Homo-oligomer: A and B are copies of this chain.
Amino acid sequence: MKQKILLSYGSGGKYTQKFINNFILKNFSNEILNQLLDSAVIKLENKKIAFTTDAYTVKPIFFPNGDIGKLSICGTINDLLCVGAIAKFISLSLIIEEGLEFETVDKILCSIKKISEEENIKIVTGDTKVVEKGSCDKIFIITAGIGIIENNIELSYEKIEPEDVVIITGNIAEHGLAVLLSRGSYGFEYEIKSDCASLKSLIEPIILDNKISQYLKFLRDPTRGGLSAVLNEIVNKRKDIGIEIEESLLPIDEKVKNVCELLGFEPLQIANEGKIIIITKKNIAEKVLSILTKHPLGKNAKIIGKITNENKSKVVLKTTYGIKRIVDMPTAEELPRIC
């Protein structure tokens, strides 16, 4: 019989220690975590840090090209990149439903271990709670991350100006669609791979090069709510500018496009987990693009539009038919729920 997680694993007693030894330390051993103190003590090389958190409740917990574990670490790395920081330390909180199989937990933790090692990240502190059956959906993972801002890069809504260029690092709408299709509730089987990935090696050369980074304005990973949500957030924050993007320039895989059409989804609203929107001054846009497209994760990167002086506080899409239409902040009804 497969071994299962018991409530007692979260009780703070013997079984909790067993869980920490057999699952956590086995996978994530490092000199900071191994102290098993209430908090991790960290010496920083630099005084400017970035700090982020995300709660992962994705359903299903495994999907093509990823799982909730990989997602949680990649999401944290990418959130830190968006303020110009390189992820160094991550905290890992697990909320596990009683009865979840050991095998499942192990698979998820191995996936966290793999990506953390690849990206040179230390899991330095954590917490595990086990809740009664029905009190959580299999497993929730909540990460917080600390990253170091190596140079004096400052990215913000305020820096964005008309004529700035909007770049997306690759094909859109893949993660959300992958998750939705892997639920198998659409009456057909079709595999779309999630784009779930750490973008560290893609974005690092851009944020660490001062000649480029001084002209970077804003980075954001278009997760929940997709491109629509991020672009609308910008014009909501900065009502003195508009954004114009061109449909013909949007990188999207043909299969993804077809499935979106079939299911009536708007690709602009579908979540991505391995893409970043980059807004730069025009002078370095081509340079940034040439760096991105040399990297496997950026090979489909495209300039998709620009910041405008007109259509203030609006996101405008120039369709392939040449018609311009407003892209609104997605409402919940339009958004397929993925987490």
Contacts and interface: CB of A to CB of B under 8 A. Distances in A.
Interface of A: 6-17, 35-45, 47-55, 57, 78-80, 82-83, 85, 89, 91-95, 124-129, 131-132, 134-137, 140, 142, 144-147, 149, 154-157, 219-221, 223-226, 229, 233, 236-237, 269, 271, 329-335, 337, 339
Given A126-B53, A129-B339, A144-B53, A329 B93 contact: no
A40 B47 contact: no
A47 B45 CA distance: 7
Nearest to A89: B51
Contacts of A12: 223-226, 229, 271, 330, 335
A92 B53 contact: yes
A43 B37 contact: no
A102 B12 CA distance: 32
A82 to B, nearest CB: 4
Copies of the chain in the assembly: 2
B6 A52 contact: no
A334 to B, nearest CB: 7
Contacts of A11: 224-225, 330, 332, 335, 337
11 contacts: A12-B226, A36-B233, A38-B79, A38-B83, A39-B147, A41-B154, A42-B51, A51-B91, A57-B129, A95-B140, A136-B140
Contacts of A7: 332, 337
Contacts of A155: 37
A49 B129 CA distance: 25
A147 to B, nearest CB: 7
A137 B131 CA distance: 9
Contact of A48 (B41, B157, B332): B41
A236 B17 contact: yes
B47 A47 contact: yes
